[in-house]
Chains A and B, each alone.
Chain A
Amino acid sequence: MTVRIELRGLRKEFKDGTHVGPIDLTIEKGELVTLLGPSGSGKTTTLRMVAGFIQPQSGSLTFNGRDMTNVAPRERGIGMVFQSIALFPNMNVFQNISFGLDMEHWDRTQVTERVEELSRMLGIHGLLYRPISEVSGGEAQRVALARALARKPQVLLLDEPLSSLDPQLRDRLQMEIRKVQRSLGITTLYVTHNQAEAFAVSDKVAVMNDGVIIQTGTPEELYENPNSEFVARFVGSGNVFSGVVEEVRSDSILVRTDSYIFKVSGHRLAGSQVFFTVRPEDVRIELAESGMGAAATVQSVTPQVGSSRVVLDFDGNQVVSVVTDATMTSQLRKNGTSRVWFRFEPELAVLIG
């Protein structure tokens, strides 16, 4: 059975005066939703309210319409993987995975079958009888996932499960988590502070800051249409420009920044303060002044897969551009911190808010 989770106005206040919420979020049946935000933004608190370890002061939490606020964590049908992995150090891999089944008094043959099935699915079949101290980071992660899934939970909660792993392993495991989650069709809430990880695994991402959800959407929606400067900076490239509307035209506006006037598609009142963002792949660099671009200086040129990431200094703000042209890259490298010009098509800039 799969579950639809609804959080309505969920709110928790702490003794030190900080608070999280009100949180409104719906996780559809079989969906993987990620809470993404910087540390201290309230992601883990929200997750722990869903798990039942933290009692909200107000609001409601329902699984398929059934109120969960007074149900003990162990009766919520939840599987959870902690940031610290938290495998029981006094048991071996098999005993860790079967722990939840023992608590339910499954009979021995069923337990063995279930553990075998999960360990094969997660590729840890060879280490069932190893003590936990002899299991590597990536393996521990899989064991924790197997342990969380053993009781066939309706809901899976993952709290920064990959944060302690190196990037390569993290990439591989996030794909595996996604695959397992899809094949089981289990409703999942995932917490991370890593934008790339969130985008790789999620159906939907909820961006959190200062205890509230700022924007919820698919990764594409967030990337292309951030609703605030924070979302643009946190999930996008960080190319956020601010200025005052100088002139309103039929399908675009002219925005004056400290040293340049940009043309941006869309509509705003003249004289108002606006923010807009441009994706790095849409920022074009020119080595000679053409009168069409804003002047900036090159800060760094970093090679990455199939392109280079060029960071420019524009009036003290960072502007990131992805350059795919190899001759341009080598020219930029040769020139060092030289003066360049950048521009973008007005329709590729996105007004925020």
Chain B
Amino acid sequence: MKSQNVLAHLILYSPVVLLACFLIYPVSAVIIRGIVSGLGTSITNVLSSPVTLNAVSFSAYQAAISTLAAVVLGLPGAYLLARLRFRGKSVVRAAMVIPFVLPPIVVVVGFLQMFGPYGFVDSFVMAITGSNTSVVNLASGITGIVLAHAFYNAPLVILMVSASLERLSPDIEESAEILGASSIQKLRRIILPHILPALLASAILTYLFCFTSFPIVLALGGGAYSTLEVRIWIAFRIFDYGAASSLALVQILITIALAFSYYRLGGSRNYTIAPTSRIKQVGIDEIGGRHALLAVLYVVLLLVLVAGPIVAIVRAAVYDPVTEVYTWAGFASLLSAGLGGGLIPLVNSVFYAGTSTVLAVVLGLPLAYLHRRPGFTSSTLSSLTAFLPLGVSAITLAYGLMLCVVVPLGLSVNPWPAIVLAQTMIGLPFSARSIEIALRNIDPALLDQADLLGASRLQKLFFVELPLLAPGILVGAVFAFAMAIGEMSATYFIALPQNFTLTVAIYQDLGVRKFVEAGAAALVLVAVCLIAFLVIDKVTGKQSGGVL
């Protein structure tokens, strides 16, 4: 009995231990070493440098504008999605997950094609104005960055806020109505307070993602703009470990504060409401002319901004803007195994993401169980463990893994295990959360029933719990796979040319203006994400938003 308990504890706490070894230790080692070794710029110099101040203030500033844009763009959508009754609603809801799982570098490709020079929007304006040269370029500078961030996060706001709105009891609304509240008063005094926790949570999450944004700022910012993460990257590239470590420390402190406030909001998110309550809905045919027009305009705007770049990738895959011809060269290159060909990155992507998905699930399971354990410490420990990877700079992690895993183990010739580890850490929050949600939905009475019918602990696990958890595990795995295969920053940092993945290949291709090659690779990743979305939709029905 006693040894069984020890084993159970060992299994439960193994993810925490592994995270300590492969996340906390490498990252702290990098930071401490960088700061105390005296290599490169000292921490006081870094902290007082105007460059750092610029990077911090730019990170904060662009994240604030991006968050504002995502919220402004997302709120009407959340309201429509919750309030309207229409066919295919669950598909629309599930499709909101697609942008979130798209790799940032793929989004960059789509954005260039949609909003960049000679892209769809530009061509349209050129045709109207009769101009031969590019007129608008919305895919570069701060505009491009903010638009791309809004693309990512508006669906997140829509999902989280509409989920909260849907739990607004119609009785509450009618009570307010009968007590004389006008629509505006109802919105201000009833609806806004109701969605406020979800709105704040989605805003903080959005801010967190935008603050640490790397590929989008690097690729669309064109070197003129740099967030903290970009500065960390640059510092590592010029071997200024002091600067890199100090910047990483600053970033971690900020992101942990954000992640912590998100976690705290999560606790206060549920008002006491009837579990069966469901917001009052109206059919599409019931909305009046002016409102219908506004709704249509909004949906068009959302389609242009969110669906547009995804669709544009199809064109990016076959149209070469340099030679101005349609070509299959991009796909041909994907299948070429030679130098600069796409086959090796493709195989690498699938292998690394697949392996790290298995690891993320294997670690996510005990982590989810740890979260369900009574007592403050284990559940907090599990939450922190699951959240930590979200708050840590991927590049710092990558450098930490190089320092603490690759070099000591002599993997420098082929550092692929470090890539898999980094991708595992990035997928883990999603697999753990998805499994935890599935675990929460299991009726404890079922397990008691299995107990009474004489099932042993293992039988209970294998014949009752795991089959019930299977959909949650699958969704978690799909999410983890999508996040892993889309990962670029850490992979790029660790990878030698033979380890390049598709995302890294796309970034490289864009740098040398091999646009169709980048487009074709991006299209493959879009296809992977679409398949992921279909699986999630199939498995969860309409609750896919919960995993975020």
Contacts and interface: CB of A to CB of B under 8 A. Distances in A.
A35 B66 CA distance: 55
B193 A74 contact: no
B185 A103 contact: yes
B180 A74 contact: yes
A91 B161 CA distance: 20
Main secondary structure of the interface of B (DSSP, over half): helix
Nearest to B173: A86
Given A89-B272, A90-B194, A83 B178 contact: no
A206 to B, nearest CB: 22
Interface in A144-163: 147, 150-151
Contact of B175 (A88, A90, A151): A88
Interface in A71-101: 73-74, 78-80, 82-90, 99-100
B179 A86 contact: no
Given A89-B272, A90-B193, A132-B272, A51 B169 contact: no
Contacts of B182: 103
A306 to B, nearest CB: 38
B172 interface: yes
Nearest to B194: A90
Contact of A89 (B178, B181, B273): B273
Interface in A100-135: 100, 103-104, 132-133
Contacts of B272: 89, 132-133
B178 A79 contact: yes
Interface in B157-192: 169, 171-172, 174-182, 185, 189-190
Interface size class of B (residues with CB under 8 A): 20 to 34
B175 A103 contact: no
B273 A100 contact: no
Contact of B171 (A84, A100, A147): A84
B185 A78 contact: no
Contacts of A104: 180
A53 interface: yes
A100 to B, nearest CB: 4
A104 B179 CA distance: 9
Contacts of B185: 103
Interface in B245-273: 271-273
Contact of A86 (B169, B181, B193, B194): B169
Contacts of A150: 179
B175 A82 contact: yes
B194 A73 contact: no
A151 B172 contact: no
B271 A103 contact: no
A83 B171 contact: yes
B171 A82 contact: yes
Contacts of A99: 176, 179, 181, 189
B179 A74 contact: yes
Given A80-B178, A84-B171, A84-B274, 7 more contacts: A73-B174, A73-B178, A74-B180, A80-B174, A100-B179, A132-B272, A147-B179
